[in-house]
């Protein structure tokens, strides 16, 4: 399976939704409100990628500014100042706000590395970027790519053993298609197929093509040749300068507009609060400064680690040991992100009102049923008529109380018996054993000598009349 740009933007959109990223883009003038919200769904790939380019450049500038402040403050201390990578790793574990935006920057850089590998035909970078992106598919519940992307990675990593000649061609850049001589303009094979299909379809589209086998075969055979002829014809009439030269994104106007947007976005985020300068243990939204719950913090903190462990387990079970088929369902993670609604329990008054309404509806249905048939109330109430017994639970939650309240139910109104005199007290031997603590005794004999001070001997107890009452045996 080839990885598409859309799913990478969708993963980033799911991760950034509710974090205040879209509000920062709007305030910085990078995009309008509607366009910024569309970035979360990757409605327009090119515009969405441009927004992430601005974001990644701005986040790196903010990260570097925060490190410079730390380096300036730590210069006078005797301790050795750590590198930027070491400092960022430590701060990411200490501060959830720092760690979240560092994860966003890392994922955006992985996406740009993947795009760069396609555009330049760099096979080594292509394999490396896919290996780093695959755990995110498991973590963010993109099960289709999570199932087949590890298979694709395994296929291309084993080419050196199975097909070394194919690997040699791939390393030469032939795993992508170069349609022009422009720099940084190669494209994936599936994207090239889509463009060829668009040329063949034209304005009339290809409605009903797959339903006609004869037309489908003609299209499959003649499609590539028609596309080639159209391309050669366009090359003969194209009047333009040489295609050799810089990429269109390297033009002066494009670069100037990009730097303007980056400066504006950096200024906007600094006004909202540089996330890399945050020292609290809270995770905040950039625009509203809402504090996220502990479950959101814990989920985002362990998100990448969870994805890596699931990816490793998937590869081991289904590709190495082959103990499970690839088609088995993949477990989905319960994600707690910025947009996860906080479940608040209803108040006791609302729950009681809801219970009364449910009882009213229940008895209304019972009354209507009794009008048409002989209703037996005892038989009706002998069965469960509610989801949870009201005597034991309230709103589905078990009722709690103090154990001492049960004494009121168990106590009986009776007179206290008068104290009587007696000549002897008989104790049950088993009860005596349970009352005494064995301590360090390991055998019954040691317990008899060290714990029990009295040794009972089996005797027969005879009452005054000569009748036998019983036998008492001790330890």
Specify the pLDDT at position 181.
79
User: Which of 23-27, 145-149, 238-242 is least confident?
Assistant: 238-242
Tell me the DSSP string of 323-372.
-S-TTSPPPPP----TTPPP--PPPHHHHHHHHHHHHHHHHHHHHHHHHH
Specify the pLDDT at position 388.
72
CA distance 206 to 223: 12
Specify the pLDDT at position 461.
46
The burial class, CB within 10 Å (0-12 / 13-18 / 19+), for 108 is buried
8 A C-beta contact, residue 262 and residue 61: yes
User: Which of 116-130, 187-201, 228-242, 330-344 is least confident?
Assistant: 228-242
Identify the band that residue 54 occupies on the pLDDT scale cut at 50, 70 and 90: very high
8 A C-beta contact, residue 182 and residue 209: no
* Closest among 6, 303, 340 to 144, alpha carbons compared: 6
How far are the Cα atoms of 100, 115, 306, 332, 388 from residue 4, in angstroms, in the given order? Answer: 24, 10, 23, 21, 49
Cβ-Cβ contacts under 8 Å for 19 (sequence gap 6 or more): 100, 285, 286, 338
- What pLDDT, in 10s, does the model give residues 70-110? 988 887 676 788 899 999 999 999 999 999 999 999 999 99
Specify the pLDDT at position 421.
73
Count H helices, E strands: the chain?
A: 20, 4
Give me the percent of the chain exceeding a pLDDT of 70.
80
Phi, psi torsion values for 395, nearest 5 degrees: 65, 30
Identify the band that residue 414 occupies on the pLDDT scale cut at 50, 70 and 90: low
Identify the band that residue 37 occupies on the pLDDT scale cut at 50, 70 and 90: very high
8 A C-beta contact, residue 469 and residue 475: no
Once rounded to an integer, what is the mean pLDDT over residues 285-301?
91
Identify the band that residue 462 occupies on the pLDDT scale cut at 50, 70 and 90: very low
* Closest among 84, 82, 86 to 63, alpha carbons compared: 84
CA distance 115 to 107: 13
- CB crowding 122-145: b at 16 or more within 10 Å, else e: bbeebeebbebbbbbbbbbebeeb
Once rounded to an integer, what is the mean pLDDT over residues 368-380?
69
Specify the pLDDT at position 234.
72
Reduced to 3 states, what is the DSSP secondary structure of residue 30? coil
Identify the band that residue 225 occupies on the pLDDT scale cut at 50, 70 and 90: confident
Identify the band that residue 408 occupies on the pLDDT scale cut at 50, 70 and 90: confident
470, pLDDT greater than 70: no
Q: For all residues of the chain together, what is the average pLDDT? A: 82
Dig out the tokens for 231 from the structure. 């391309």
Once rounded to an integer, what is the mean pLDDT over residues 205-221?
71
Give me the percent of the chain exceeding a pLDDT of 90.
46
Specify the pLDDT at position 65.
94
8 A C-beta contact, residue 12 and residue 100: no
CA distance 194 to 179: 13
CA distance 183 to 119: 8
CA distance 459 to 433: 19
């Amino acid at each position: 399976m080839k990885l598409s740009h859309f799913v990478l933007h969708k993963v980033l959109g799911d991760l950034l939704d509710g974090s205040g990223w879209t509000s920062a883009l709007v305030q910085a003038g990078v995009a309008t409100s509607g366009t910024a919200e569309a970035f979360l769904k990757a409605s327009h790939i090119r515009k969405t990628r441009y927004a992430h380019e601005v974001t990644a450049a701005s986040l790196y500038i903010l990260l570097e500014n925060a490190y410079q402040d730390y380096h300036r403050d730590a210069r006078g201390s005797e301790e050795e100042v750590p590198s930027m990578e070491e400092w960022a790793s430590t701060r990411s574990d200490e501060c959830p706000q720092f760690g979240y935006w560092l994860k966003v920057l890392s994922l955006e850089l992985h996406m740009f590395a993947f795009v760069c590998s396609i555009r330049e035909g760099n096979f080594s970078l292509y394999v490396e970027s896919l290996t780093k992106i695959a755990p995110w598919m498991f973590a963010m519940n993109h099960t289709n790519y999570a199932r087949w992307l590890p298979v694709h990675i395994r296929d291309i990593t084993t080419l050196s053993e199975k097909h070394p000649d194919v690997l040699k061609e791939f390393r030469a850049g032939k795993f992508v298609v170069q349609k022009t001589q422009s720099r940084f303009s190669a494209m994936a094979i599936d994207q090239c197929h889509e463009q060829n299909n668009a040329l063949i379809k034209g304005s009339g589209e290809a409605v009903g093509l797959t339903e006609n086998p004869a037309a489908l075969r003609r299209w499959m055979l003649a499609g590539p040749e028609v596309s080639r002829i159209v391309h050669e014809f366009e090359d003969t009439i194209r009047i333009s300068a040489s295609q050799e030269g810089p990429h269109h994104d390297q033009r002066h106007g494009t670069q100037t507009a990009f730097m303007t947007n980056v400066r504006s976005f950096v200024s906007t985020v600094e006004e909202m609060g540089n996330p890399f300068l945050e020292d609290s243990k809270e995770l905040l939204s950039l625009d509203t400064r809402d504090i996220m719950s502990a479950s959101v913090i814990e989920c985002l903190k362990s998100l990448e680690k969870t994805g890596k462990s699931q990816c490793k387990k998937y590869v081991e079970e289904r590709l190495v040991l082959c103990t499970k088929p690839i088609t088995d369902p993949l477990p989905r993670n319960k994600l707690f992100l910025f947009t996860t609604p906080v479940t608040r329990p209803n108040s006791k008054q609302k729950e009681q009102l809801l219970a009364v309404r449910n009882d009213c509806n229940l008895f209304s249905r019972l009354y209507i049923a009794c009008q048409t048939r002989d209703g037996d109330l005892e038989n009706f109430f002998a069965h469960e008529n509610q989801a949870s017994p009201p005597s034991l639970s309230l709103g589905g939650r078990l009722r709690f109380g103090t154990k001492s309240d049960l004494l009121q139910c168990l106590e009986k109104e009776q007179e206290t018996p008068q104290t009587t005199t007696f000549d002897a007290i008989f104790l049950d031997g088993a009860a005596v054993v349970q009352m005494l603590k064995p301590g360090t005794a390991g055998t019954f004999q040691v317990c008899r000598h060290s714990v029990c001070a009295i040794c009972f001997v089996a005797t027969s107890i005879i009452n005054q009349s000569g009748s036998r009452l019983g036998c008492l045996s001790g330890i």
